[in-house]
């Protein structure tokens, strides 16, 4: 048996590390047709003419499909359910996000024609024969520029490109607080656009069975049931049970595999239309062009402070780049998690206005953190700037304003309710671990080598399993067989993050089961028709809750069955260590033995939800070195102390936190999606879009300080996004600390060598 809290190596690793993983791309060879897309080479244009005759006659071609064919077959389009309003108070316009562009293309990579052939090479050759005449129109790719007068209009029905305006907080109270402030700190911040760039790009395989009138889709997705439901309702117009979705090993997700894409609907539609099993495989360039991208915000933020250094209020105006189309979750990141802008502080009032802007770029969607890193970046940059302006030590300023355990639960002015935590102790623990007092010596040693050394501190707190995630139930179905093995069917979806190991630990701990005899299955909508999926660090919160409730029901049911088997009263039956026993005797029966005789009575399925979202929080301290001659910025030390609640498996949690830090560091130091003035993608390959490598990172010092929550039976808070949330502000703060002696007061990410070098040269001039 293994227990909750044991540092157990992941059961999945042997299979994955020895080449036994099963990815969607592994099944492409078994298909008998390949789909290739002709994508728009321009960002904004009308389709003047389309000639596909030569392509249809090309060798091996099975079909050349356009938007006219979609219309003829009554194929629908994606939409979003967010109930936001335009500036004039009317309902937000929901542009038609179809599977293929119709009449107009709106970003480079917008799919126009689908070519299906017997082989990929034949489909690619035929695609080259298609002639499309584009009538170029003006494009806009920057969200702030899109809202300016005279900017090109992405959608005629969205004047000024403002899709919606959302407000959070109390505007009047906030304005009143600012009017009485002794000091106001103001920052204009740019949070750049990035892409997930998973190891396995997106792949989709579609088939149709005439005998059963059912579709089947294989793809890597975090939410198989959601994928099924959206494709059925919005695209094909059929009941959900007519689609079977299978998602096995994913090969990287990070939010961008949370929603369906046009290619997924295309392979299903083409499969039925052509009577073939159809595969589409994204190239890396296609992935850079067409994957849902992340972040991309312009934010003006202010912090009001009284004469004693107490935070009175925060206000911000944010513009979020939505891209050309609204995917199912596109409005979520810039709006849903702005509550994190309060941080761990007792700020009295707040007001945030968010404007969603359409641009001629791919749609944005949740990307690791989905608004949490952006919100934390704002408040922590403000706090650090305020400390400098007020000449107050940054740790002292945070302590003056930090909520204490006695003040929790606490409802913030942006609507979140922090249920538990010990923020002051976490920051103190991090400061000690980082050898804060020894920094000046390290700075001097760096200077002796001609390098600028800086340090940063940031505190992050985020909502996990929410806003929607915690309130959506999750399903667990536990089944025993006659051989003593247990199959656990989970509605959540493994993404390479150790879910199978964590569920084994929970059930081994609660039921005394041998983890080697537990098989965890997910990602198949025929086997597990109910489920919500994995996103927003909700898996252990929601899925763990369901697993614990199922285990408790097994024990409760088992006591009744064991009473008959042991010829005792049910009240005298106790359970521990995987066995039922008559209290005060040596008469026992193991759970496995009981299951063998229980005729399926111990097979329990539950659909449960946690009592609410949770709030993992942590303190990040890092140090950087900058070469003033080249601008090269190196991350040299990083310490994180995080409260993720109960730690199911310390090895998995540390891996999640470490991976999250690297993902955040990648955005801060090197990653950025860049378009030119005409909307062309400049960073269209890994030659242009830089990704972090192991040798770019120091060894991380990661510790946990668990303060379990009472909102779920495990006391977990979630760890999947925590590293990323704090990494964005802390690294920039450290870099500014290094550059400040030279006179550099502000710099935006990414901290590329060129950008840092130019900042240094500008102040020298």
What CATH superfamily is the domain 24-138+204-253+257-283? Aldehyde oxidase/xanthine dehydrogenase, a/b hammerhead (3.90.1170.50)
Q: Which residues face 203 on adjacent strands?
A: 281
CATH number among 3.40.50.1820, 3.30.365.10, 2.60.40.1120, 3.40.190.10, domain 419-464+614-764 = 3.30.365.10
Q: Is the peptide bond before 586 cis (omega within 30 degrees of 0)?
A: no
Dist CA 339 CA 319 (whole Å): 16
Would the pTM of this model clear 0.85, i.e. be above it? yes
Dist CA 651 CA 123 (whole Å): 46
Look at residue 471 in the predicted model and tell me its pLDDT. 65
642 has pLDDT over 90: yes
The mean pLDDT of 457-484, rounded to a whole number, is: 85
Handedness of CA 353, 358, 360, 365 (dihedral sign): positive
Q: Does domain 140-198+291-379 have CATH number 3.30.365.10?
A: yes
Rg of the chain (C-alpha set): 27
CATH architecture of 468-608: 2-Layer Sandwich (3.30)
Contact 649, 501 (CB under 8 A): yes
The 3-class SS string of 485-508 reads CEEEEECCCCCCCCHHHHHHHHHH
Dist CA 574 CA 553 (whole Å): 14
Exposed e or buried b per residue across 562-593, where buried means at least 16 C-beta atoms within 10 angstroms of its C-beta = bbebbebeeeebebeebbbbbeeeebbbbbbb
Dist CA 191 CA 744 (whole Å): 19
Contact 298, 334 (CB under 8 A): no
Give pLDDT tens digits for 4-50: 999 999 999 999 999 999 999 999 989 999 999 999 999 999 999 99
Dist CA 468 CA 453 (whole Å): 42
467 has pLDDT over 70: no
Give pLDDT tens digits for 219-230: 999 999 999 999
**Residue 484 — pLDDT band, cuts 50, 70, 90?**
confident
In sequence order, what are the residues at sequence separation of 6 or more whose Cβ sits closer than 8 angstroms to the Cβ of residue 218?
24, 27, 204, 205, 245, 246, 247, 248
Give pLDDT tens digits for 588-611: 999 999 998 888 999 999 999 999
Q: Name the average pLDDT for the chain.
A: 96
Look at residue 470 in the predicted model and tell me its pLDDT. 45
Domains 419-464+614-764 and 468-608 agree in fold = yes
The mean pLDDT of 340-358, rounded to a whole number, is: 98
Q: What residue ranges do the domains of the chain occupy?
A: 24-138+204-253+257-283, 140-198+291-379, 419-464+614-764, 468-608
């Amino acid at each position: 048996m293994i227990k909750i809290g044991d540092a157990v190596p992941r059961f999945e690793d042997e299979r994955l590390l020895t080449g036994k993983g099963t990815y969607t791309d592994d099944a492409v060879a078994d298909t008998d047709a390949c789909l290739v897309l002709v994508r728009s080479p321009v960002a904004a244009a009308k389709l003047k003419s389309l000639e596909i005759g030569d392509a249809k006659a090309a060798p091996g071609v099975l079909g050349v499909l356009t938007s006219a064919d979609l219309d003829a077959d009554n194929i629908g389009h994606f939409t979003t359910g967010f109930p936001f309003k335009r500036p004039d108070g009317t309902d937000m316009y929901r542009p038609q996000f179809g599977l293929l562009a119709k009449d107009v293309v709106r970003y480079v990579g917008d799919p126009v024609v689908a070519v299906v052939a017997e082989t990929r090479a034949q489909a690619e050759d035929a695609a080259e024969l298609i002639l499309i005449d584009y009538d170029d129109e003006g494009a806009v790719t920057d969200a702030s520029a899109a809202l300016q007068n005279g900017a090109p209009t992405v959608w005629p029905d969205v004047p000024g490109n403002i899709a919606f305006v959302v407000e959070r907080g109390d505007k009047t109270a906030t304005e009143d607080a600012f009017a009485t402030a002794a000091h106001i700190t103001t920052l204009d911040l740019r949070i750049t656009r990035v892409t997930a760039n998973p190891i396995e790009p997106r792949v989709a395989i579609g088939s149709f069975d005439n005998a059963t009138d059912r579709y089947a889709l294989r793809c890597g997705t975090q939410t198989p049931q959601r994928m099924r439901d959206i494709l059925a309702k919005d695209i094909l117009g059929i009941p959900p049970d007519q689609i079977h979705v299978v998602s096995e090993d994913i090969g990287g997700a990070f939010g961008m595999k949370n929603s369906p894409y046009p290619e997924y609907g295309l392979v299903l539609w083409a499969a039925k239309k052509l009577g073939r099993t159809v595969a589409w495989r994204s190239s890396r360039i296609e992935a850079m062009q067409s994957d849902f991208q992340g972040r991309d915000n312009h934010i003006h933020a202010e912090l009001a402070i009284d004469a004693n250094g107490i935070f009175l209020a925060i206000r911000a105006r944010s513009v979020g780049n939505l891209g050309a189309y609204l995917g199912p979750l596109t409005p979520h990141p810039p709006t849903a998690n702005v509550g994190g802008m309060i941080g761990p502080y007792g700020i009295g009032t707040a007001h945030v206005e968010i404007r969603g802007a359409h641009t001629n770029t791919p749609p944005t969607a949740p990307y690791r953190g989905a608004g949490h890193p952006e919100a934390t970046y704002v408040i922590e940059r403000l706090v650090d700037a305020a400390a400098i302006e007020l000449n107050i030590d940054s740790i002292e300023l945070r302590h003056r304003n930090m909520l204490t355990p006695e003040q929790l639960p606490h409802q913030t002015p942006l609507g979140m309710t922090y249920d538990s935590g010990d923020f002051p102790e976490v920051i103190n623990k991090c400061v000690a671990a980082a050898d804060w007092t020894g920094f000046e010596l390290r700075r001097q040693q760096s200077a002796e080598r001609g390098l600028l050394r800086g340090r940063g501190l940031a505190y992050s707190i985020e909502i996990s399993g929410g806003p929607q995630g915690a309130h959506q139930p999750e399903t667990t179905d536990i089944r025993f067989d006659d051989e003593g093995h247990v199959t656990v069917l989970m509605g959540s979806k493994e993404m390479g993050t150790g879910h199978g190991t964590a569920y084994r630990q929970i059930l081994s701990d609660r039921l005394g089961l041998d983890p080697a005899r537990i098989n965890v299955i997910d990602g198949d909508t025929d086997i597990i028709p109910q489920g919500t999926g994995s996103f927003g660090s909700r898996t252990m919160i929601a899925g763990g809750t369901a697993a614990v409730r199922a285990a408790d029901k097994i024990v409760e049911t088992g006591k009744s069955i064991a009473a008959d088997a042991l010829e005792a009263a049910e009240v005298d039956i106790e359970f521990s260590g995987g066995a039922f026993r008559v209290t005060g005797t040596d008469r026992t029966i193991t759970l496995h033995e009981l299951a063998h005789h229980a005729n399926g009575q111990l097979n329990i399925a539950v659909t449960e939800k946690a009592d609410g979202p949770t709030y993992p929080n942590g303190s990040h301290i890092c140090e950087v070195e900058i070469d003033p001659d080249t601008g090269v910025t190196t991350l040299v030390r990083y310490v994180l102390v995080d409260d993720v609640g109960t730690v199911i498996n310390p090895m998995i949690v540390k891996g999640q936190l470490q991976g999250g830090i690297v993902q955040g560091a990648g955005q801060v130091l090197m990653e950025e999606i860049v378009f030119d003035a005409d909307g062309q993608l400049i960073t269209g390959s890994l030659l242009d879009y830089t990704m972090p490598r192991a040798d770019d990172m120091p060894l991380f010092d990661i510790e946990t300080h668990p303060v379990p929550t009472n909102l779920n039976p495990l006391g977990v808070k979630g760890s999947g996004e925590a590293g990323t949330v704090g990494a964005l502000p802390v690294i920039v703060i450290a870099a500014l600390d290094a550059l400040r002696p030279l006179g550099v007061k502000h710099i935006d990410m990414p901290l590329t060598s060129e950008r840092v070098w130019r900042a240094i040269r500008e102040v020298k001039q």
